[in-house]
Amino acid sequence: MTSDAEVRLPRAHSEPLDAGRSRPRVGANGLWRSPAGWTRPYLWTAVAGDAVCALLSGTVAMLVAAVVHEPTTVGRPALVLIGSVGWVIVVAACHGYEGRLAGVGVGEYRAVAGAAVRLLALCALASYPMSSGRSPAGRHALLIYFPLLLSSALLARYCLRKSLHRARLHGHASDRVVVVGRDEAVGTLIAELHREPVHGLLPVAACVPEGVTDVCGVRPAGSIHDAVEVARRCAADVVVVASPSGLDGLELRRLSWELDDLGIDLVVSPGIVEVTGPRISIRPAATLSLLHIERPALHGVNAVTKEVFDRVAAGVLLIVLAPIMLLVAVVTKMHDGGPVLFRQTRVGIGGRDFRMVKFRSMVPGAETLLNAVKLVADDGNGVLFKRHDDPRVTSVGRVLRRYSLDELPQLFNVLRGDMSIVGPRPPLRSEVQTYGVEAARRLRVKPGLTGLWQVSGRSDLSWDESLRLDLRYVDNWSMLLDLQILWRTARAVLRGAGAY
């Protein structure tokens, strides 16, 4: 992987771009450079990574086939090479090498997973005409090959994306963006782009109504009707039109034509916040292209799927983690002789109360000392009370909180159906009484043992940021999102950031 220090952001050009945009220059180490020059090396690295994963997986599968003396209808070295080329072709057919998906969202992962399913189907079809259903590579080889290929390809893509994200956090390997629209809309959009720079869109100029001198730290370079000229002058890769923009449909159409002639992408923001791609689609109506926002997915069959996953996962985790939970219980009891568990009423789905259980991390009777502790300091977010040096927390409790071991008994809440493995933080009744209309939407799903709030900072988050993450989860739930959060939870727990 390349180091972040070696990745360079492209510099703006002053010459017209229609005469021929600067071609990407790739250094000796395969680094991405020049205007949008990170895209091609990134995608070629992805191709190389997929090919290597296929080669290694095929080699291991063929060795297994040789050990068990499984016959194949094609030579093993040839099968490994054919499988590697075929894998790259199928990933490409599934849009796994598109620059617009590079490092953003889950599109790349979906493409890799979809490619594995399609390649498996192709192998099954190729095996069918064979006598007795024998596959060209052998059944044992295929049983080894596909799980190994899928897991290694996903891991390779994950590592490549993380390298790109680290570069983008330092302002490198990003597309240069000109933002067009009214000053308030442009300011909001630029602020959101600065909030999470891993998306790879770097605002370099703004086109706003005359009289505006600064937009969220980005210099205005012209009016909304000067977008094409500003994009040429700034060597932009993308023009983003904010909403409201002050441009009508015909003007947007003409803008797309002019930018297309220059090889510059046009992106239009619909002005809808915290709604992810899978919920948005285009719905044609007469000569119009209407933006269709799907309902949140957590209902019907999806809700049943999540319920089954939660119950099964909780049962398995309770069995696997039983020795650790027993050890924590013994240490907690021996420390001060107090109760092992702490029970507290929390608010669940639909505003219904339930008794949440945790390992006790504070001195016995800690709730009676709350008011006195609040008078000294409150490091919380205005709604939830927290203190970095809470004197009620025991020495054992600090270790439990550091690694979230105190929350393991909540698996029993999941097993009973009060909580989910992933979801918003379970609130107190006193917190719910302060909720407005937006915050009350958190109660449309079960609270979770972990969630976006935990993997994004936990107690270090402000109330507004915590609410924004919870609402994002409620509105954009998917099983893939749950799996992503679980993957990130392991890292968050090991780091212990925001745990106090």
pLDDT at position 215, please? Answer: 85
In this predicted structure, the answer to whether residue 4 has a pLDDT above a threshold of 50 is: no
pLDDT at position 144, please? Answer: 85
In this predicted structure, the answer to whether residue 3 has a pLDDT above a threshold of 70 is: no
pLDDT at position 24, please? Answer: 36
**Rounded Cα–Cα distance for residues 329 and 312 (Å):** 24
Q: In the structure, what pLDDT confidence band is assigned to residue 463 with cuts at 50, 70 and 90?
A: confident
Q: In the structure, what pLDDT confidence band is assigned to residue 70 with cuts at 50, 70 and 90?
A: low
Given a contact cutoff of 8 angstroms between Cβ atoms, the answer to whether 358 and 409 are in contact is yes
Q: Residue 340: is it exposed, middle or buried by C-beta count within 10 angstroms (0-12/13-18/19+)?
A: middle
Q: What is the pTM of this model?
A: 0.70
In this predicted structure, the answer to whether residue 171 has a pLDDT above a threshold of 90 is: no
**Rounded Cα–Cα distance for residues 70 and 412 (Å):** 47
SS3 494: helix
What residues contact residue 87 under an 8 Å CB cut-off, 6+ apart?
A: 50, 51, 53, 54, 115, 119, 149, 153
In this predicted structure, the answer to whether residue 7 has a pLDDT above a threshold of 50 is: no
Cα 55 to Cα 62, 94, 360, distances in angstroms: 10, 20, 51
Q: What is the pLDDT of residues 328-343, one digit of tens each?
A: 999 999 998 899 999 9
pLDDT at position 68, please? Answer: 65
**Rounded Cα–Cα distance for residues 408 and 396 (Å):** 15
Residue 142 token pair: 């295929």
Sign of CA dihedral 177, 181, 187, 188: negative
pLDDT at position 47, please? Answer: 95
Cα of 314 vs its chain's centroid, Å = 23
In this predicted structure, the answer to whether residue 322 has a pLDDT above a threshold of 80 is: yes
Given a contact cutoff of 8 angstroms between Cβ atoms, the answer to whether 243 and 271 are in contact is yes
Pick from 479, 425, 491: which is nearest to 452 by CA? 425
What is the mean predicted confidence (pLDDT) over 157-165?
Answer: 92
Q: In the structure, what pLDDT confidence band is assigned to residue 319 with cuts at 50, 70 and 90?
A: very high
Q: Where are the domains of the chain?
A: 4-169, 175-271, 301-495
Residue 387 token pair: 């203190």
Instruction: Name the more confident of 387 and 343.
Output: 343
- H, E, C per residue of 359-411: ECCECCCHHHHHHHHHHHCCCCCCCCCCCCCCCCECHHHHHHHHCCHHHCCHH
Full DSSP string of 407-460: GTTHHHHHHHTSSEEESS----HHHHTT--HHHHGGGGS--EEE-HHHHTTGGG
What is the mean predicted confidence (pLDDT) over 190-202?
Answer: 85
Given a contact cutoff of 8 angstroms between Cβ atoms, the answer to whether 41 and 32 are in contact is yes
Mean pLDDT over all residues of the chain? Answer: 82
pLDDT at position 415, please? Answer: 96
pLDDT at position 408, please? Answer: 95
Cα 84 to Cα 48, 89, 131, 250, distances in angstroms: 10, 9, 25, 47
pLDDT at position 390, please? Answer: 78
In this predicted structure, the answer to whether residue 462 has a pLDDT above a threshold of 60 is: yes
**Rounded Cα–Cα distance for residues 468 and 474 (Å):** 10
In this predicted structure, the answer to whether residue 423 has a pLDDT above a threshold of 90 is: yes
In this predicted structure, the answer to whether residue 136 has a pLDDT above a threshold of 70 is: no
175-271: CATH number: 3.40.50.720
Q: What is the pLDDT of residues 26-68, one digit of tens each?
A: 333 333 444 357 888 899 999 999 999 999 998 888 887 777 6
Residue 211 token pair: 């009289």
Pick from 306, 179, 190, 324: which is nearest to 246 by CA? 179
In this predicted structure, the answer to whether residue 291 has a pLDDT above a threshold of 50 is: yes
What is the mean predicted confidence (pLDDT) over 462-481?
Answer: 86
pLDDT at position 230, please? Answer: 93
Given a contact cutoff of 8 angstroms between Cβ atoms, the answer to whether 37 and 10 are in contact is yes
Instruction: Name the more confident of 68 and 225.
Output: 225
Given a contact cutoff of 8 angstroms between Cβ atoms, the answer to whether 202 and 172 are in contact is no
Given a contact cutoff of 8 angstroms between Cβ atoms, the answer to whether 88 and 149 are in contact is no
Percent of the chain scored above 70 by pLDDT? 83
In this predicted structure, the answer to whether residue 8 has a pLDDT above a threshold of 50 is: no
Percent of the chain scored above 90 by pLDDT? 38
Residue 268 pairs with which residues in a beta bridge?
A: 241
Full DSSP string of 282-313: EEEETTEEEEEEPPPS-STHHHHHHHHHHHHH
H or E segment to which residue 158 belongs = helix 139-169
Pick from 294, 460, 249, 424: which is nearest to 346 by CA? 424
Instruction: Name the more confident of 70 and 195.
Output: 195
